[in-house]
Amino acid sequence: MSGCYIHIPFCAQKCSYCDFHFSTNHTYQDEMVDALCTELEMRSKVWLQENFETIYFGGGTPSILTPIQLQKLINQVKSNYQVVDSVEITLECNPDDCSLENLQKWKELGVNRLSIGIQSFNDDQLKWMNRSHQAADSLNAVKNAKQVGFDELSLDLMYGLPNMTLQEWKDQLLQIIELNPEHISAYCLTVEQKTALSKWVKEGKLVVSSNDQQSEQFELLVSTLKDAGYEQYEISNFARNEHYSRHNTSYWKGSKYLGIGPSAHGYNQTERYWNQANNKVYLNELKKGSLPETIETLSDFDRFNELVMIGLRTKWGVSKQQLFENSAPNEEWFQIVKNYEDKNLLVQTEEHILLTNAGRLLADAIASDLFLIDTSTPLSVL
């Protein structure tokens, strides 16, 4: 089972906290779609044997594409790859793009899952974030999507925002629950280098939540969504009635994925490739007939560490069989696992290693403690 990720590198405007790859110049959108189609065709020779179960349009802002551009891309995937009949096709969209007309067209094209970037229901927060929408647009987007018949809605919300009190976060959560989506993703605001947010924080113009406040907000997130019937199946992802994101779940379980577009990366369980994160360079390379990529061959250590890092974040945990296929850790490693078990932060079943609820608060630190270090690398190359 494999997934196909297509990166659409355009946005209406630059959100002040964002360091993803995108451009606000849309004059060459058609040219970019043609290049994405070229890359899809070029990579198909190697990926022909794979059965694709998911197609995910991420970005950037994929909902900025015209329906004709989107159709071209979906057709190109279907005509060059083996795609299962029950394929999950997800479109990330901004609330202000979710008009009845657009939604109707996306549905006709086979899009069956929407991931709507609400981020906040507070217009003051949306304003400093420089989002292109307001809270009312989000409510309309969800109403319209339901009216058109989308029954796989995922809504994104952010916490750790400047001046956010616990009560404000609770109100945000109650509002999103009220909309009754099948899936909710909630991410903590991070201050990325070279963003307007990082400049404002350095200048003291904005104060983001402290680590303790973020932890309190995370705990409130988990308990409030649990009480509302949402299962936390990954640290930042919650689903009702097993409406998991099939695309992201296959990624977290270590499946292969094809990545198309500037800055996208792909993984075939042996190698990872990274596409150029520059639209012009990406277009020029493809015009010359070459793939705009850098390839990294993963060592057994890399694969082991990656399985730990992504697997521990999920409710399924890390598969021991998958993990030990790559490398055999030493006694010291098993002792670290045991220490975390004794502290009630990790549990082991016969087949998996998983975090407890308390362990999820420390997921990154625990994962990095379980990484294997390749000590055979000579110091001279470090």
| 60 lies in the site for ligand SF4, by CB under 6 A | yes
Tell me which stretch binds ligand SF4 (CB under 6 A): 9-17, 81-89, 262-270, 274-282: 9-17
- Closest distance of CB 101 from ligand SF4, Å: 21
Are 209 and 217 within 8 A, CB to CB? yes
Instruction: Give the residue, chosen from 4, 6, 15, 103, that forms a contact with ligand SF4 under the rule CB under 6 A.
Output: 15
**Rounded-to-integer distance, Cα 246 and Cα 268, Å:** 18
- Closest distance of CB 21 from ligand SF4, Å: 8
Q: What residues are paired with 27 via a beta bridge?
A: none
Kindly tell me the burial class for residue 36, based on how many C-beta atoms sit within 10 Å of its own C-beta (0-12, 13-18, 19 or more): buried
Instruction: Give the residue, chosen from 7, 8, 36, 59, that forms a contact with ligand SF4 under the rule CB under 6 A.
Output: 59
Are 189 and 172 within 8 A, CB to CB? no
**Rounded-to-integer distance, Cα 81 and Cα 44, Å:** 6
Are 208 and 201 within 8 A, CB to CB? yes
- Closest distance of CB 251 from ligand SF4, Å: 18
Tell me which stretch binds ligand SF4 (CB under 6 A): 54-62, 63-71, 197-205, 283-291: 54-62
For ligand SF4, the closer CB: 60 or 311: 60
- Closest distance of CB 209 from ligand SF4, Å: 18
Residue pointed to by tokens 């609330």: 95
- Closest distance of CB 125 from ligand SF4, Å: 13
Instruction: Give the residue, chosen from 18, 42, 337, 354, that forms a contact with ligand SF4 under the rule CB under 6 A.
Output: 18
For residues 61 to 100, the per-residue mask of contacts with ligand SF4, x marking binding by CB under 6 A and - elsewhere, is: x---------------------------------------
For ligand SF4, the closer CB: 117 or 292: 117
| 56 lies in the site for ligand SF4, by CB under 6 A | no
For ligand SF4, the closer CB: 154 or 305: 154
| 20 lies in the site for ligand SF4, by CB under 6 A | yes
Residue (of 22, 99, 98, 26) closest to 61 by Cα position? 22
Query: Which residues contribute to the site for ligand SF4 (CB under 6 A)?
Result: 11, 14-15, 18, 20, 22, 59-61
